[in-house]
Structure 1
Amino acid sequence: MTTSLSSLSLFFFLKPISFFLLFLCFHHVNSQLYQREHSVLLRINRFWKNQAPITHWLSSNVSHCSWPEVQCTNNSVTALFFSFYNLNGTIPSFICDLKNLTHLDFQLNFFTGGFPTALYSCSNLNYLDLSQNLLTGPIPDDVDRLSRLQFLSLGGNSFSGEIPVSISRLSELRFLHLYVNQFNGTYPSEIGNLLNLEELLMAYNLQLEPAELPSTFAQLSKLTYLWMAKSNVIGEIPEWIGNLTALVKLDLSRNNLIGKIPNSLFTLKNLSIVYLFKNNLSGEIPQRIDSKGIIEYDLSENNLTGRIPAAIGDLQNLTALLLFTNHLYGEIPESIGRLPLLTDVRLFDNNLNGTLPPDFGRNLILEGFQVNSNKLTGSLPEHLCSGGKLKGLIAYENNLSGELPKSLGNCDSLIIVDVHENNISGEIPAGLWTALNLTYAVMNNNSFTGDFPLTVSKNLARFQISNNKISGEIPSELSSFWNLTEFEASNNLLTGNIPEELTALSKLYKLSLDGNQLNGELPKKIFSWKSLQRLKLNGNRLSGEIPDKLGYLPNLNDLDLSENQLSGSIPISLGKLALNFLNLSSNFLSGVIPSALENAIFARSFLNNPSLCSNNAVLNLDGCSLRTQNSRKISSQHLALIVSLGVIVVILFAVSALFIIKIYRRNGYRADVEWKLTSFQRLNFSEANLLSGLSENNVIGSGGSGKVYRIPVNSLGETVAVKKIWNNRKSDHKLEKQFMAEVKILSSIRHNNIIKLLCCVSCETSKLLVYEYMEKQSLDKWLHKNSPPRITGSEPISGVALDWPTRFQIAVGAAQGLCYMHHECSPPVIHRDLKSSNILLDSDFNAKIADFGLAKLLIKQGEPASVSAVAGSFGYIAPEYAQTPRINEKIDVFSFGVILLELATGKEALNGDADSSLAEWAWDYIQKGKPIADALDEDVKEPQYLDEMCSVFKLGLICTSGLPTNRPNMNQALQILIRSRTSAPQNHGDKKQDQ
């Protein structure tokens, strides 16, 4: 008994010691694990060379589990988060030394190389996101070694080859994202074996072979989201789509689907969103729709015909009805107007007729209502804004009549009302104008009556009520409309003066009040109209003189004051404007036409002003008399002096004429050839000044379409650049097209970063384009040491290194010019031959885009245009442009990316290495994991500019991506450039030249 008690006592004595020893052992193991993982993390940081986003990873006493990129479970690293960290190079092979790692997020970086097979060692990995990087090559056939993966995202890279069947052996996979890559082959039918799959995203794989949806996909009963937009899916939508009972969102848009929409699609009770737009689906919408679960119904932009089935009114959970841009006809079923949850109605661009269901808005809370471009009649539903949430009412181009719904007068949620081109009448509800959020009010071409509103929403930017029967005076309170950018009230019944307060609207760029009964004088205080581009006041009863200050509005290019009662002389200041259109006809103006306005483009601008005169025959006006009141007082001595001077002038003119004729003959021009000058700017020279300078001594360059001359044109030292084209009979037609393209574009666009076309001169045998002269000439002559020398004055500029701030300034300027062409011109302009030799530099090294001979205007924004043949310069041509004649703005983005690479590396576009272009060389360089810093131009690489140069190099890579959808647009590229700025722009070019 005593022995037993002793043993028991010993047990209770040793038990806490054992627990303590176990605790010490466990703590020791944990401490070792912590230290080991901490060491791995620091090694990762060194591998990425302490890149800026993770400089806080320092060897310190702070636990790495507190770092924002690290997640720990039980004090061990289980997840790393590096989304959008601007990392480049490769993923370190030793990352799997973090043995408990389950989650890796590397999306939105600049990793290169192939699929990181080193991750196979991460035996616990279940989440891997490598999307939006620069990874290339095939997905390896043994990718199923990552056997525990539940989430795999490889979207937004440049993976190629076939999608491996081995992916289908990742049996635990729930999310598979393979969108926007360069896969070829077809969709593996074995993906249908991934029975746990919830998301399958394979959209925008443009190089996949056309194929129907594999029937094995019918097994994916857990699938909630299927995204296969623009992936060459063909055939009909299969009936087995009804087997995907968990499907919530289906997007098969922008493919080549044909046939009818299967009834089984509408048996899916969880389906909330259906996108089938931009296919070739035809036939009618199924008349029987059993689903009660559809929330968003989008069959827009197909070839659907027939009527809208009344059965859609049974979809009690429907929130959005999107059937726009089809061939639907007939009336809109009244039952749709009674759907209780419907918020978004888009039925525009069809052939719908009849009246709109009167219950729209009565028992539902509408937010968007778009029924424009149909044949609808009757009134707009009275209760559209009864729910107080309506943001947009768009019903233009119909045959609607009646009055606007009174409910719009109490609809503060409204942002846009566009009902132009209808027959709507009556007064506009007063409360509509003061809706707090109203931004666009477009009501042109109706029969509205009533007085001009006294107050409007302070957010109103676009106010268009032209071609109605609005009466009354324009109120002085208009100065409170301070956000107005467009104000059009043409062809109404407006009376009274134009209030001075109107001139306080500093954001206004379009003002049209023509065709009214306005009287009085034009406002004098117009300094605030700095943004004004168009001023149309014609067809009124305005009197007095034209204000001289009009000529000092910096952006005014369209001025129409015709058919008024204006008097006095034309201000000389109007000649300072870069006018595309001018009409001062049918007034009582007098005196001499300012010389700056005496050119052919204003030939009809001054008619029916009996007291106006001009000595320029191109204006078809009476010549001005040489006698004035002062001339009568001239003494006979003065008269004799004038006669003598006149004789001298005639003699000098005759000598000059003989000299010019001699030059003409020497250069192949005949004196009896008739030359026509068409001016686009105010000129201080004539065609004679230009033709006399077309000598070989003045040649500064030549290209495929002719020579370029540097010609001084007057005694003030002004110089122009003249491009002579069309001198080869065999190329007449081609060069004529280039000439007309360049004239058409450059005469219509104005921007500080686009070369200014001054005029063109033409005859039967030659055509000349006259530009502003760029003192520093083209970028390539400053950038590339091996470029042939070009002379400016007496000094060659070939091979002179521009410092980095100047190069960065040039990149931003070129981007701004392209942004204007792509996003602000209507229709947008595509250059098609952008290269460093077409980037010209003024005396301050500001960039100007030139040589638009190959440019094309897009017929419709957002639609590719076709060209007869691929044009451009090797090294700058986007890969898709060489494969198809269909083009869009992304080909210019590619060329811009090459220019960025030239600026960053100093290399030429065709001099990446012996076998590749610069873009190909840059991609190959980065995919080999080499440091970007080693690729930069040694002549300008300095520590304070290194980050900025690396950013420009990376942007050049993104812009030259082989897949157009992976390239940014020019607005995005410009913003990336501006955000990357770390140095102040300077003009160091001259300093470097002196050195």
Structure 2
Amino acid sequence: MTILATSHIKFSLYFHIALFLILSNANFQSQQEHLILLKFKFHLQNPSFLSHWNSSNTSYCSWPKITCTKGSITGLTLVNSNITQTIPSFICDLKNLTHVDFSKNFIPGEFPKSLFKCSKLEYLDLSMNNFVGKIPYEIQSLVNLQYLNLGSTYFSGEIPSSIGNLKDLRFLYLQYCSFNATFPAEIGNLFNLELLDMSSNYMLPPLKLPLSITKLKKLKVFYMFGSNLVGEVPETIGEMVALENLDLSKNNLSGKIPSGLFMLKNLSIVHLYRNSLFGEIPSVVEALNLVELDVAENNLTGKIPNDFGKLIKLTWLNLFMNKFLGEIPQSIGHLPSLKGFSIFKNKFSGTIPADFGLHSKLEIFHIAMNNFKGRLPKNLCYHGKLQNLSVYENHLSGELPKSLGNCSSLVEVKIYKNEFYGKIPSGLFWSKNLVFFMISHNKFIGEIPQHLSSNVSLFDISYNKFYGRIPIGVSSWTNVIEFKASKNFLNGTFPQELTNLPKLDTLLLDQNQLKGSLPNDIISWKSLVTLNLSQNQLKGQIPISIGHLPSLSVLDLSENRFSGEIPSIPPRITNLNLSSNFLTGRVPSEFENSAFDRSFLNNSGLCADTPKLSLTLCNFGLKKSTKTSHWSLGLIISLIVVIFLLVLFASFMIIKLYNKRKQALENSWKFISFQRLSFTESNIVSSLTEQNIIGSGGFGTVYRVPVDGLAYVAVKKITSNRKLRQKLVASFRAEVKILSNIRHRNIVKLLCCIYNEDSMMLVYEYLEHRSLDKWLHNKNESSNMSGSAQHVVLDWPKRLRIAIGIAHGLCYMHHDCSPPIVHRDIKTSNILLDSQFNAKVADFGLARMLIKAGQSNTMSAVIGSFGYMAPEYVQTTKVNEKIDVFSFGVILLELATGKEATYGDEYSSLVEWSWRHVHEGSNIEELLDKDFVEQSYLDEMCCIFKLGIMCTATLPSSRPSMKEVLHILLRSEGGIVFGERNVIVGEYDDAPFLKNSKNRDSRLDFVDSDSD
């Protein structure tokens, strides 16, 4: 008993000693962790969001941002906390850390190697930070990692092969980085990996998809879109039995689609669009769980496999912009889940399955630019969800289904260039969501409706058989931007009510039977750019008010019965046609040049002061009588004889003195005028004094020169630096060639050029408010600005008007000039502002004419301005219209945010800053210029910011055209830019209304329903 009692006492004593030591150690650990947290808070400079972390509160497991397990810290989560400090070296003194999340901050520096001491780490998220440099090879020391996210950072170099040693890794995110070396095959050793995101690594060199990737038998999600992949998709991809979601879009993959891909039982989403794949889609399809299939913009051929009719879960089928042919299988029309069907721009033929829309809630039906014939299916809008009906440029016929008249969900109706006939279902005109109504080049009949949907912006019924009067209810079409009704049978008088449309940009009523005179008061057409009323029976005088339309650029009143004198028409008109009328009097002097030599033909009562217009010369008077006519003819003949003799004499004298004056002639100034001017070269040359200098740069010097009639002109004198001579001469010639041939109110007007052997000068109209950058970024100097100008604030309405003006100019260059013109150097310093803050595009020294619209020219070198240059221009030196769209998008971001294009550090720009915040899901309102967000312009500013994001998409094909951009901007003045759904409303034939899902093209990802 004594021995037992003694043993029991010893055991109890040892137990209590051990317990005391454990408790002491636990207490020490607790105190240590508490101190580490306070030290960490101090390292972050005591931010307010960590106010609960304090020395008096020792219950740190209840603190925010902390996770504890069994009384010890196992998790730190400081997401979106505006952290700008580095991760401290002592962080792994928290011995039990398994979870670290510092995503969505501004943490600088290289990869924090101190984390390698966190031996228990299972979850590490450092995404959306400012890390630079390489990912260290030592990352393999984090052997317990299951989740690793280093995406949306500036990590560069190569992905270390050692990453393949993280055998427990299940989720690996390396998207949106700056890697520029090969893809490590060792990633194929991560046998437990379920998700791999390597997308949008645009700086990677061309690389093939390694065969080792197909060893990942547990991989469910694989994203590697936009990462410069080349070669073929491995046939062994069919061995990735767990694969559910595959996105390899926006690469340069070639070859055929592997037959094994569509044999995967779990496959639900496949995105292979925008590659160079060819061949047919495998005919045997066993992936019955497929929900989305997007193989658009490839070179695929053949037919849609019949087995697609088995895909009962398929919701989105995008095959557009390929070379598919044949008929659509009837079974496609029976798919119960189908929402989007986009096959435009292929070679499909035959009739459309009649059951489309009957069995599924169809939203998008885009079959344009094929060879379909027959009628439209009757039930396309059976479930009331159809938003986009685009069947243009086919051979479809018959009447439109009456059910479309009850389809209130429709946003776009594009059925032009077919053979439809009959009347339009009446309800279709006022479908409440309708924005685009384009039915031209068909055989429709009927009268124009009194009322349209209040959202319609484009109403095009040209080249049909509509008849009757233009209704007085047209005054309610307040959001219409383009009204096109050319080549119909419209009659009656021109209604006064048509002049009440404040947003009207284009009005085409040519080739009809309109009678009577034009209203005298048309000044409310402040936005009108194009007016074509030719080939009607209009009469009376041309209204004087037509000369007061501030935006009018194209005017065609030819082949009517207009009479009287030509009223004052501003010289900003670029295309003018008044031929075949009964006009009399003198042609205004501003149009007496060869650019308008076809504008006044067949008006017997008109005369001109120059023979360039092929009209009677006013100098000798109009015909009064037969006697006067004979006398005038004789006088003309006599003058011609005298002039001829004088020319002969002058020629003789010139030849005689040629050798003596050869040197003097070579050095004399040459003066080329592009319109009638009130000054000579001597007026300009004598005024190039130091006190008239208003700017200078690498090209030379800009002067403000006073002249008679124009107050001032701006003179750009090209430097005579011999080293730059060749480049500057090329720039000089490019600017003269382009600006002398184009005329637009939003493009700076070149008046003349003056040059000799040593100097070159370009003379422009002078714009009082100078360049946009000086106003937008507060670079104005009081000494250089007029007194009134110094006190004007560039408020939001002015900014929006400036954006619209620039868009008008670029739209003209890209879409109305033949060949199209690419500026190549669009930036705020090349946008000039007149006294009313109207914008004009300037500095065409780098501009180039394209061979053909949409095709690229290759430049010998990249020249431009940091922050504005499109990435494909920098990488390939190829240019087309989309590089101007990118630069314009930068200006939109500047206008919306108030920040400069170079905002950021030496490696980043405003575009990268904006895109980063978009991908982070930041509140757009917080990114906008703080001077205006409190006012009533918030919705417009959000829309312009988003439009800037669209225009600066990395891939050129993801950017809208300037015509589409202009459409959106014009509608933004009324706050109606996008539809109320998660789709972009616009003229996007290469980007139809796709479902807005994760990892879809950037053209849709950022759109939300709040302000769109």
Which TM-score band (shorter chain)?
0.7 to 0.9
Q: Does 1:36 align with 2:35?
A: yes
- Give the Å deviation of 1:493: 0.6
Of residues 720, 724, 748 in structure 2, which corresponds to 1:756? 748
Question: Where does residue 952 of structure 2 map in the other structure?
Answer: none
Change (3 A) 1:687 1:470: farther
Distance change in 2, residues 1:480/1:268 (3 Å): same
* Cα distance in 1 between the residues matched to 2:889 and 2:359: 54
Q: Which of 571, 574, 580 pairs up with 2:574?
A: 580
- Give the Å deviation of 1:750: 6.0
Are 1:464 and 2:467 matched, yes or no? Answer: no
Shift of 1:272: 1.6
Pairs within 5 Å for 1:497-512: 497-512=493-508
Show CA shifts across 1:896-915 (max 9, x none).
99999xx9xxxxxxxxxxxx
How much has 1:966 moved relative to structure 2? 7.7
| Structure 2 match to 1:571 | 567
Alignment pair present for 1:714 and 2:708: yes
Alpha-carbon distance, 1:89 to partner = 4.8
Does 1:854 pair with 2:846?
yes
In the other structure, the counterpart of 2:395 is 399
Judged with a 3 Å threshold, the aligned counterparts in structure 2 of structure 1 residues 853 and 482 are, in CA distance, closer, same or farther, namely same
Query: Aligned letter for 2:363?
Result: E
State the Cα deviation string for residues 815-848 of structure 1 (Å, max 9, x = none).
Answer: 9998777799635976545789868798999998
CA contact (8 A) 2:903 2:909 kept: no
CA distance in 1, matches of 2:242, 2:665: 79
Corresponding residue for 1:558?
554
1:186 and 1:208 in contact (8 A); partners too: yes
Which deviates more, 231-240 or 389-398?
A: 231-240
Q: Offset of 1:872 from its aligned partner? A: 4.8
Per mean C-alpha deviation after superposition, the further-off stretch among 219-228 and 955-964 is 955-964
Q: Partner of 1:927 in structure 2?
A: none
Which whole-Å CA distance do the structure 1 matches of 2:585 and 2:885 have between them?
51
Cα deviation 1:691-712 (Å, max 9, x = unaligned): 6648788995888877765533
Counterpart in 1 of 2:814?
Answer: 826
Structure 1 position 376, deviation (Å): 1.5
In the other structure, the counterpart of 1:523 is: 519
- Structure 1 residues 286-341: Cα deviation after superposition (integer angstroms, max 9, x where no partner): 11112211111222222112222222112222112211111111222222122222
Q: Aligned pair in 2 of structure 1 residues 285, 608: CA closer, same or farther (>3 Å)? A: same
1:173 aligned counterpart, secondary structure: coil
Contact 2:441 2:463 (8 Å CA) reproduced: yes
Q: Describe how 1:802-841 pairs up with structure 2 within 5 A.
A: 826=814, 831-832=823-824
Over 3 Å counting, the alpha-carbon distance change for 1:723 and 1:225 in structure 2 is same
Distance 1:527 1:973, change over 3 A: farther
Q: Which residue of 2 aligns with 1:938?
A: none
Name the amino acid aligned to 2:332: I
1:871 — aligned with what?
Answer: 863
SS of the aligned residue for 1:190 comes to: helix
Residue 347 of structure 1 deviates from its aligned partner by: 1.0
**Aligned counterpart for 2:108 among listed residues 108, 112, 121:** 112
Question: Structure 2 vs 1, CA of residues 672 and 605 (structure 1 numbering), >3 Å: closer, same or farther?
Answer: farther
* CA-to-aligned-CA distance 1:714-734 (integer Å, 9 cap, x gap): 177423314569999998899
The alignment partner of 1:958 has SS state of: coil
Question: 287, 299, 305: which one pairs with 1:303?
Answer: 299
**Contact 1:815/1:974 (CA < 8 Å) preserved in 2?**
no
Alignment of 1:726-765 (within 5 A): 735=729, 739-741=733-735, 743-744=737-738, 756-761=748-753
Counterpart code for 1:36: L
Return 139-148 or 806-815, whichever deviates more: 806-815
Further displaced range: 88-97 or 487-496: 88-97
Verify the 8 A CA contact 2:866 2:902 in the aligned structure 1: no
Report 1:261-410 matches (<5 A). Answer: 261-410=257-406
Partner of 2:966: none
Deviations 1:775-811 (A, max 9, x none): 798899999xxxxxxxx99x999xxxx99x9999999
Distance in 1, matches of 2:274 and 2:889, equals 31
Q: Are 2:426 and 1:438 aligned?
A: no
Structure 1 distance, partners of 2:591, 2:251, is: 54
The separation in 1 between residues aligned to 2:484 and 2:263, in whole angstroms, is 50
Q: Secondary structure at the match of 2:270?
A: strand
- The 2-side partners of 1:296 and 1:966 are apart by 27
* Other-structure match for 2:929: 979
Is residue 886 from structure 1 mapped to residue 836 from structure 2 by the alignment? no
Aligned to 1:770: 763
In 2, are the aligned partners of 1:268 and 1:293 still within 8 Å (CA)? no
Unmatched runs of 5 consecutive residues or more in structure 2: 1-15, 623-660, 935-1012
Change (3 A) 1:497 1:206: same
Question: Structure 1 residues 453 and 239, CA, compared in 2 at 3 Å: closer, same or farther?
Answer: same
TM-score, normalised via structure 1 length: 0.74
Counterpart-to-counterpart distance in 1, 2:66 and 2:807: 40
CA contact (8 A) 1:699 1:707 kept: no
Q: Secondary structure at the match of 1:112?
A: coil
**1:245 alignment partner AA:** V
Instruction: Give the letter aligned to residue 529 of structure 2.
Output: Q
Counterparts of 1:614 and 1:358, CA distance in 2: 63
Does 437-446 or 183-192 show the bigger shift? 183-192
CA contact (8 A) 1:742 1:851 kept: no
The answer on whether the counterparts of 1:139 and 1:159 sit within 8 Å (CA) in structure 2 is yes
Cα root mean square deviation, aligned: 5.4
One-letter amino acid of the structure 1 residue matched with residue 595 of structure 2:
I
CA distance in 2, matches of 1:846, 1:66: 59
Q: What pairs up with 1:581-620 in 2 under 5 angstroms?
A: 581-620=575-614
State the one-letter code of the partner of 1:91: I
* Bigger Cα displacement from structure 2, 327-336 vs 87-96: 87-96
For residues 506-551 of structure 1, the C-alpha deviation after alignment (integer angstroms, 9 at most, x for no partner) is: 1211111111111122133434322221111121112222222222
Q: 1:165 pairs with 150, 161, 166, which one?
A: 161
Q: Please say which of residues 189-198 and 390-399 is displaced more in the overlay.
A: 189-198
TM-aligned CA distance change 1:725 to 1:429, over 3 Å: farther
Question: 1:987: which partner in 2?
Answer: none
CA distance in 2, matches of 1:218, 1:410: 50
CA contact (8 A) 1:705 1:735 kept: no
Structure 1 contact 667–695 (Cα < 8 Å) conserved: no
Aligned to 2:213, the other structure's residue is in SS state: helix
**2:389 aligned counterpart, secondary structure:** strand
CA distance in 2, matches of 1:61, 1:128: 30
Q: Aligned AA for 1:770?
A: V
* Conserved 8 A contact 2:52-2:64: no
Secondary structure at the aligned position of 1:111 is classed as coil
Deviation at 1:390, TM superposition (A): 0.9
What does 1:958-969 align with in structure 2 at a 5 Å threshold? 958-959=908-909
Offset of 1:86 from its aligned partner? 4.9
Provide the residue aligned with 1:496 in structure 2.
492
| Range with bigger deviation, 524-533 or 441-450 | 524-533
Counterpart CA distance in 2 for 1:824 and 1:84 is 44
Correspondence 1:527-546 to 2 at 5 A: 527-546=523-542
Query: In the alignment, is the contact (CA less than 8 A) between 2:870 and 2:887 conserved in 1?
Result: yes
Q: Say if 2:44 and 2:83, in contact at 8 Å, map to a contact too.
A: no
1:347-386: CA deviation from partner (whole Å, max 9, x where unpaired): 1111111111222122222111111111111122222111
Alignment-mate amino acid for residue 866 of structure 1: T
Pick which of 764-773 and 228-237 moved more. Answer: 764-773
Alignment-mate amino acid for residue 373 of structure 1: M
Contact 1:42 1:57 survives alignment (8 Å): no
Work out whether residues 959 and 967 of structure 1, in 8 Å CA contact, stay in contact via their aligned partners in 2.
no
> CA 1:517 to 1:82, structure 2 compared with 1: closer, same or farther past 3 Å?
farther
Q: 1:349 to 1:43 in 2, by over 3 A?
A: same
**Identity score, percent:** 45
**Structure 1 pair 407–211 and aligned structure 2 pair: CA distance change class (3 A):** same
Residue 208 of structure 2 aligns to a residue whose secondary structure is coil
For 1:510 and 1:848, the matched residues in 2 are separated by: 20
Q: Which residue of 1 aligns with 2:645?
A: none
Distance in 2 (alpha carbons) for counterparts of 1:810 and 1:570: 33
Q: 1:733 to 1:719 in 2, by over 3 A?
A: closer
